[in-house]
Amino acid sequence: MLIKVALIPSLLLAAAVYFIGPRMLFAIRRDAYVKQFNDQLIEVSQSMANALKAGMSIQQALFQVSERVPEPASGEFRQTHNELMLGDNLIMALSALRDRVRSRELDVMVNATLVQHAAGGNLARVLAAMANILTERRRMQREIQSMTAEARFSAIVIQIIPIILVIILRDTSFGKGLFETTPGWVLLGLYGVAQIGIFLLIRRIMKIDV
């Protein structure tokens, strides 16, 4: 009976890892990738604006960006440049870039680039203005992060306190009821799943878009 009881947390953990773990890991890595890419868009916009002001074509400007900025923007814009060289038009290449990265900031940049390119407007000026807008947006994001730091810390503490209490009470009759009985392990498993759900919910609530 004890062996069967001991298997319950392992099974619950394995199920949680199998069903939730990969999706959570992918979401975290995806968010980190997009954030790193977005952080480079100011440099990308300014670099393209300078290249266009110097008389380069948009294809040459994209190549210059791919050579000057670090990853991940370097690889993404290099692929876009290569697609143009292989015969794709600008709409196809930039739309593919937008679909790969899926960033709201990049969407705005791509849409502005395509509209100005089609209308024959001053794309260099638009990209320079985009760099200024992104710079101001970064400043506002830093202020929001600073203002919500206390709330985020409180949310973490609220999640940690129950775990500490369970560890402290482990050797008491209450703790033995949790760790040495089947219903106890079931409750612990449900609590673990609930904690993961709360973590994801708090993470989403605290993610304020500017």
Is 180's pLDDT higher than 80? no
Please report the pLDDT score of residue 56 as a whole number.
92
The model's pLDDT over 53-71, given as tens digits with 9 standing for 90+, comes to: 999 998 999 999 999 999 9
Is 17's pLDDT higher than 80? no
Is 5's pLDDT higher than 60? no
Q: For domain 30-140, which architecture applies?
A: Up-down Bundle (1.20)
Q: At what angle do helices 21-53 and 58-68 cross, to 10 degrees?
A: 120
Q: Could you give the CA distance from residue 41 to residue 107 in angstroms, rounded to a whole number? A: 11
Please report the pLDDT score of residue 172 as a whole number.
76
Closest residue by Cα to residue 202 from 163, 147, 154: 154
Is 2's pLDDT higher than 60? no
> What is the share, in percent, of the chain residues with pLDDT greater than 70?
88
What is the 3 state secondary structure string of the chain?
A: CHHHHHHHHHHHHHHHHHHCHHHHHHHHHHHHHHHHHHHHHHHHHHHHHHHHHCCCCHHHHHHHHHHHCCCCHHHHHHHHHHHHHCCCCHHHHHHHHHHHHCCHHHHHHHHHHHHHHHHCCCHHHHHHHHHHHHHHHHHHHHHHHHHCHHHHHHHHHHHHHHHHHHHHHHHCHHHHHHHCCHHHHHHHHHHHHHHHHHHHHHHHHHCCCC
Closest residue by Cα to residue 196 from 7, 28, 5, 31: 28
pLDDT-derived band at 116, boundaries 50, 70, 90: confident
Give span(s): CATH 1.20.81.30, the chain.
30-140
pLDDT-derived band at 95, boundaries 50, 70, 90: very high
pLDDT-derived band at 9, boundaries 50, 70, 90: low
The model's pLDDT over 21-30, given as tens digits with 9 standing for 90+, comes to: 787 788 889 9
